[in-house]
Amino acid sequence: MRLLLVEDSDRLRKNLAKALSKLGHAVDEAAEGEAAVSAVRVNDYDVVVLDLMLPGKSGLELLEEWRRRQETVPILILTALDAVEDRVRGLAMGADDYLVKPFALEELVARLEALLRRSRGKVDSKVEIGSYEIDLASRVVKREGVEIVLTAREFSLLECLARHPGRVMSREEIESKLYGEAGSPVSNAVDVAIYALRRKLSPGDAPPIIHTRRGLGYVMQEKP
């Protein structure tokens, strides 16, 4: 998942970005409204996490502007404003969810995953390809009923491909979803990550489900 975190508290923003990154998500940061507007204009985000009390443009002003411009990216408001009227106003203006500070990281992640599933029209979080079953909600992958242990980054790569089975994804598209604006640490990071993921998914003579399309990228499907 690639998300934009709009929060003026440096400490909270950086701690939250670090925690979400450890879970395998690509996180871009914005400390104020204009930076957030620019980021949404040029990047394709899965979700925006938006604080309301920001310097310059407020969170509600940003929300109103995005919805007026028909930006369809799911927006989760994350704020200390906990009055019922604040929640009603935020949701009425076009927010998709509303979470009050302080919050548990686990609840935030669960809500983000739910928003992503709803935005893509997938109520069922399970993807089945050949003998593999991928549960995007619980972040578990099994082959013939046996769980395959992946790192957070490896599962995010798998998720990126599994959400678009049968569609070729370019290295640049995968890199954007995995690393965000920070970019990959080395030029062949995606190729190295794909190689490591393949080895875990298809040891020995197990049939592969990730295939290379030379010059184009990678695709997840049962047959080459």
Q: What is the DSSP letter of 181?
A: G
Between these two residues, 188 and 133, which has the higher pLDDT value?
A: 133
User: Which pLDDT does position 123 carry in this prediction?
Assistant: 47
Residue 23, pLDDT above cutoff 80: yes
**CA 178/CA 176 separation, integer angstroms:** 6
**CA 84/CA 179 separation, integer angstroms:** 36
**CA 221/CA 95 separation, integer angstroms:** 35
User: Which pLDDT does position 122 carry in this prediction?
Assistant: 52
Q: How far is CA 157 from the centre of its chain?
A: 11
User: Which pLDDT does position 136 carry in this prediction?
Assistant: 81
User: Which pLDDT does position 86 carry in this prediction?
Assistant: 92
User: Which pLDDT does position 182 carry in this prediction?
Assistant: 59
Residues 115-132 have pLDDT tens digits of: 887 876 654 578 888 889
Residues 64-82 have pLDDT tens digits of: 999 999 888 999 999 999 9
Q: How far is CA 88 from the centre of its chain?
A: 26
Contact between 24 and 156 (Cβ < 8 Å): yes
Q: Which of 33-42, 58-67, 117-126 shows the lowest mean pLDDT across its residues?
A: 117-126
Sign of the torsion angle spanned by Cα atoms 106, 109, 114, 115: positive
Residues 163-215 have pLDDT tens digits of: 888 899 998 888 887 877 655 556 788 888 899 999 999 887 778 899 999 98
Sign of the torsion angle spanned by Cα atoms 141, 146, 149, 150: negative
Q: Could you give the percent of the chain with pLDDT greater than 70? A: 95
**CA 139/CA 135 separation, integer angstroms:** 6
The chain-wide mean pLDDT, for the chain, equals: 88
Amino acid at site 3:
L
Residues 204-216 have pLDDT tens digits of: 777 889 999 998 9
User: Which pLDDT does position 94 carry in this prediction?
Assistant: 93
- Number of CB atoms found within 10 A of residue 20's CB: 21
Residues 85-107 have pLDDT tens digits of: 999 999 999 999 999 999 999 99
Cross-strand bridge partners of residue 86: none
Nearest to 48 by CA among 76, 22, 14, 12: 76
Nearest to 43 by CA among 219, 172, 193: 172
User: Which pLDDT does position 121 carry in this prediction?
Assistant: 61
Encoding tokens for residue 108? 């935030």
Q: Is 100 exposed, middle or buried (0-12, 13-18, 19+ CB in 10 A)?
A: middle
Cross-strand bridge partners of residue 144: none
